[in-house]
Amino acid sequence: MSVSIRTVNLKHGLILAPMAGVTDRAYRNICRRHGAELVVTEMVSAKALHYNDASSFELASLHPNEENSFVQLFGHEPEILSEAVLKICKDREGTIQPLGIDVNMGCPMKKIVNNGEGSALLKDHKLVGHIVRKLRDTTELPLTVKIRIGWDSSSINAVEVARIAAENGADAITVHGRTREQMYCTEVNIDAIAAVKEAVDIPVIGNGGIFTADDAMIMFDRTKCDGIMLGRGTMGNPWLFEEISARIEGKQYVLPDIDVRLNEAMTQVEEMVSDKGEHTGVLEARRHLSYYIKNTKGASSARHRLNFANSLEELYCIGNEFINR
């Protein structure tokens, strides 16, 4: 089981999904250490890059140890998206170029779709083609597109959108198996992803509802997809990549003990603080640590304390209580 996305070769096709407010550098690093073969940044606004927004450039910046990273862009104007690709691919001190570019055509959030971006693009086939063709003409980097299966249950059109993307130069397409209307709350439509796989000749990546190795194997077996993209299922459990790899290879896998997991989590927290400063790093780390201790004894009271933690020292204290039991 392997997949090639233009010049990018993946052994098992295990990819970390872009998640706003989650997949920062520290998170990408921990998932990379535990088996993510390709990682994708948080989605970056092409329009913000057009206006040289510093925070957006920071989101798109990759450090020298991030060679297996794609940058995900969102927008609806082909020229602006093209300009954004050229900007993030310029040599900048202390950063490296992305391995590839991913275009978001699946984000369901209201503030995104109200601008005609994300999932809203699924309603405009002609614009989808223009965007993909413009970016294909702009860069030789691998170019992928992430979509949902449609806007709502009456307009499931992932096959048509995937064909247009492929015809205009996309190297792979990721399909989230829900409509925009369904957000993240309902069962994934496996058959719709399988239909895309049958319809196009480029690699298809299955996405949505993968929280266990069993979920991953169902996605592979029923859709025949070339790879899978893991999102919320990795939160607090980046070892999911290792578990799925072991299952594919027919090996046994045992999840590390909580003390090992929390020591690794604190490494992630330290990287967040190093990158963002203690105030912002701690505020964002509280959410991550809550996921790491989920379903463990004492997690409820610890989460309450995490909500009020304001320093790295406080996070250490809470984590050490689990480690030193």
| DSSP code per residue over 3-14 | EEETTEEESS-E
Structure tokens at 246: 């072991």
Q: From CA 177, how far away is CA 169, in angstroms rounded?
A: 23
- List pLDDT tens digits, range 235-291: 999 999 999 999 999 999 999 988 899 999 999 999 999 999 999 999 999 999 999
Q: From CA 92, how far away is CA 238, in angstroms rounded?
A: 30
Statement: residue 301 has pLDDT above 90: no
Report the pLDDT averaged over residues 119-134. Answer: 97
**Residue 141 or residue 324, greater confidence:** 141
Query: What mean pLDDT, rounded, does the chain reach?
Result: 94
- Which H or E run contains 148? strand 143-148
pLDDT of residue 179: 95
- Specify which residues 258 forms β-bridges with: none
- Residue 30, classified by CB atoms within 10 Å of its CB into exposed (0-12), middle (13-18) or buried (19+), is buried
Which of 3.20.20.70, 3.40.50.300, 2.60.120.10, 3.30.930.10 is the CATH number of 3-248?
A: 3.20.20.70
Distance of CA 74 to the CA centre of its chain: 13
Written out in words, the top-level CATH class of the domain with range 258-323 is: mainly alpha
Residues 22-26: contacts with CB within 8 Å, 24+ apart?
22/235, 24/272, 24/275, 24/276, 24/284, 25/63, 25/66, 25/271, 25/275, 26/268, 26/269, 26/271, 26/272, 26/275
Q: From CA 48, how far away is CA 307, in angstroms rounded?
A: 31
pLDDT of residue 29: 96
| Strand stretches in 41-131, DSSP E | 44-45, 69-74, 100-105
**Which positions are catalytic?**
107
Q: From CA 220, how far away is CA 235, in angstroms rounded?
A: 21
- Counting residues of the chain whose pLDDT is more than 70, the rounded percentage is 99
Domain positions in the chain: 3-248, 258-323
Q: pTM of the full predicted structure?
A: 0.95
Residue 323: band (very low, low, confident or very high) from pLDDT cuts 50, 70, 90: low
| DSSP code per residue over 112-137 | HHTTT-GGGGGG-HHHHHHHHHHHHH
Structure tokens at 22: 């989650």
Give which of 22, 281, 258, 320 is closest to 305, Cα–Cα: 320
pLDDT of residue 127: 98
| Strand stretches in 149-278, DSSP E | 172-176, 204-207, 227-230
Q: From CA 73, how far away is CA 96, in angstroms rounded?
A: 17
- List pLDDT tens digits, range 78-121: 999 999 999 999 877 778 999 999 999 999 999 999 999 999 99
- The single residue listed with the structure tokens 């919320």 is 232
Q: Check: CB of residue 108 under 8 Å from CB of residue 136.
A: no
The neighbour count for residue 90, using CB atoms within 10 Å, is 8
pLDDT of residue 295: 84
pLDDT of residue 325: 60
- List pLDDT tens digits, range 153-195: 999 999 999 999 999 999 999 999 999 998 888 899 999 999 9
Q: From CA 320, how far away is CA 227, in angstroms rounded?
A: 37
**Residue 207 or residue 95, greater confidence:** 207
- Which H or E run contains 38? strand 38-40
Statement: residue 222 has pLDDT above 80: yes
| Strand stretches in the chain, DSSP E | 3-5, 8-10, 14-16, 38-40, 44-45, 69-74, 100-105, 143-148, 172-176, 204-207, 227-230
Q: From CA 5, how far away is CA 143, in angstroms rounded?
A: 8
Report the pLDDT averaged over residues 283-300. Answer: 89
Q: Quick one: angle between helices 190-199 and 158-167, nearest 10? A: 30
